[in-house]
Amino acid sequence: MAKLPILHFPDPRLRTRAKPVSVVDDNIRQLAEDMLETMYDAPGIGLAATQVNQHIRLLVLDISEDKSAPMVFINPVITPLTQDCVPYEEGCLSVPGSYDEVQRPARIRVEALDRNGKPFTLETDGLLAVCLQHEVDHLDGKLFVDYLSPLKRQRIKTKLEKLQKQRA
């Protein structure tokens, strides 16, 4: 397994729309394992392939307290099951140190393939629903900051650009 570099906002590669995975093979499974290692090390609870500069429809999650429930979603498709939206304070490994409230559908259905290419369907709410929607947004080239006001988004961008310059 290997830790992968995570792209940071405002890197334009984060705006790339991911392509569907055509074959679930050992390369895809290895990428999923590497993404899980990267996510745990960061530390985070979700990571989309786009964030590690792999523009395919693959994401990993683990919302357990003890990192014991890794989940892999290949070619996920989300369907909201309610018009009701709930606020949730979100952060992102690609937008380090920034958190803000985002409104998302409270209950969703996700259809995807697992790490072996087997189709499955999951209906969920709460933190898992929020994380899935957040990570699928990444696969569509969207970040949680896109839900914020232009002023808040610009402040975050300026702060992260300044931090990147200090590190260089």
Residue among 72, 84, 70 nearest 125 (CA): 84
Partner residues linked to 107 by β-bridges:
125
Determine the 3-state secondary structure of 104 from DSSP: strand
Q: How far apart are the first and last CA of the chain?
A: 27
**33, 101, 135, 161: the active-site residue:** 135
92 is in an annotated binding site: yes
Peptide bond into 43 cis (omega under 30): yes
Degrees to nearest 5, angle at CA 36 with 121 and 64: 65
User: What is the distance between the alpha carbons of residues 97 and 117, in angstroms, rounded to a whole number?
Assistant: 35
Counting Cα atoms < 13 Å in the Cβ hemisphere of 50 gives 27
134 is in an annotated binding site: yes
85 is in an annotated binding site: no
Determine whether 101 is an active site residue.
no
Asked if 21 contacts 75 with a C-beta cutoff of 8 angstroms, the reply is yes
Annotated binding site for Fe cation: 92, 134, 138
Residues labelled as active-site residues: 135
